[in-house]
Amino acid sequence: MLSRLDQNIRQYMLVTFNYWNFTITDGALRMLVVLYFYDLGYSTLSIAFLFLFYEIFGVVTNLIGGWLGAHLGLNRTMNIGLGMQIFALLMLAVPAVWLTIPWVMAAQALSGIAKDLNKMSAKSSIKTLVPSNAEGTLYKWIAILTGSKNALKGAGFFLGGVLLTTIGFQYAVLLMAVLLSFVFISSLIFLKADIGKAKNKPKFSQIFSKSPSINILSAARMFLFGARDVWFVVALPVYLGSVFAWPHSYVGGFLALWVIGYGVVQGFAPQITGKNPDGKSAFWWSLALLMVTGAIAYSVQIGWQPEVVIVGGLMLFGGVFAINSSLHSYLIISYARGDGVSLDVGFYYMANAMGRLIGTVLSGWVFQVAGLAACMWVSFAFLALTTIISLWLPKKIEAKLPV
């Protein structure tokens, strides 16, 4: 059956399969680290610092990873990412007394490098598998990959909470390392060798984008993801567990449903926004998210129906955020050059990682100092910047070079 499919379709399926499995372990590991170390008595700021290297090295990886992908091929960068994630998981499968902050930060650094190599490789490879000027098809494939990835990341959050409750931290990360090893072996065997390798090898100095469209979109993306992670990464799971007294399985389950719903909406984004959105579309959807966030922040601040606002309001935030994220993911692939696409995508996801880094640190610090309402107001401020920056995005998609 699979042998009768077009080769590009088979490669797309394999890239997606790799990305799915990696994403489940990434989501589960994040939930395991947050809940396990909070149980050990770590403050929210200390937990945020456990992710510091994860995000810092994500910034560096996206910047350099695009250059590596253009030189080595996206198959190699994807496989390197899978291998590093397995090693990071094994680093955490040690006795609890070894899990010092420096050790966990080092493991998280490897995981951050692995995650962004894998994501950059998966997103960039689609550009090489879709015919040039097939914008509707490109948007649809990007939406499916991104939406399914986030739905599975949500499943990973739930899996992390369940595994922590049932088999404990060490056995959980060991089990994930074993499962990911099988994915790694299949990728080595079946993934095509020359995906994404640039015909004209770019110089290292070309890692910084010279395209105004990509620079503007990258700045908007940075503040968009900072706006999410400032409340999502540390503040929300700790708030649900400490203020609402939810058990680990409930916390993991809620965050799982949030990300799964977010992923489902991303998958349907082309039906919601139309098949050929542009910078104007990005502005209006960013403005809608800004208004939703302001309403949530005010309601949390005055203490009006906190469980209803936080559960229902953040679900609404997730839906509108999903459309914004999917729009951005399409626009970067559309703006990117055909030859050496990973350079442009890598630069863009460097900005994405920078936003996550800023949001993660602020999530722990702002929550510890001023609470969840303050985190939501910081999110509002970031989204205001995203909306303003989006005014400068091109109103029509630029012409692409042939793939």
Task: List the chain domain ranges.
Answer: 2-196+207-390
Question: pLDDT band for position 388 (50/70/90)?
Answer: very high
pLDDT value for 401: 35
Share of the chain above pLDDT 90, in %: 39
Question: pLDDT band for position 403 (50/70/90)?
Answer: very low
Kindly state the average pLDDT of the residues 23-43.
89
More confident residue, 204 or 142: 142
Please check whether residue 342 is in contact with residue 74, taking contact to mean a CB–CB distance below 8 angstroms.
Answer: yes
Kindly state the average pLDDT of the residues 262-277.
85
Kindly state the average pLDDT of the residues 169-198.
84
Please check whether residue 71 is in contact with residue 206, taking contact to mean a CB–CB distance below 8 angstroms.
Answer: no
pLDDT value for 371: 93
Kindly state the average pLDDT of the residues 68-82.
80
Kindly state the average pLDDT of the residues 259-287.
88
Rg (CA), the chain: 20
Res. 206: pLDDT tops 70: no
Distances (CA, A) of 277 to 113, 146, 190, 323: 31, 17, 34, 11
> Of the given ranges (65-74, 91-100, 349-358), which has the lowest mean pLDDT?
65-74
Share of the chain above pLDDT 70, in %: 86
Res. 399: pLDDT tops 50: no
DSSP single-letter state for residue 134: -
Mean residue pLDDT of the chain comes to 84
Q: How far apart are alpha carbons 374 and 353 in whole angstroms?
A: 22
> Of the given ranges (106-115, 270-279, 291-300), which has the lowest mean pLDDT?
270-279
Residue of 256, 216, 205 lying closest to 232 (CA atoms)? 256
Residues 145-164: tens digit of each pLDDT: 777 777 888 889 889 988 99
For residue 290, what are its two tokens? 């800004």
Burial grade of 214 (CB within 10 A; 0-12, 13-18, 19 or more): buried
Please check whether residue 1 is in contact with residue 119, taking contact to mean a CB–CB distance below 8 angstroms.
Answer: no
Architecture of the domain defined by 2-196+207-390: Up-down Bundle (1.20)
> Of the given ranges (66-80, 247-261, 311-325, 336-350), which has the lowest mean pLDDT?
336-350
pLDDT value for 400: 45
Burial grade of 145 (CB within 10 A; 0-12, 13-18, 19 or more): buried
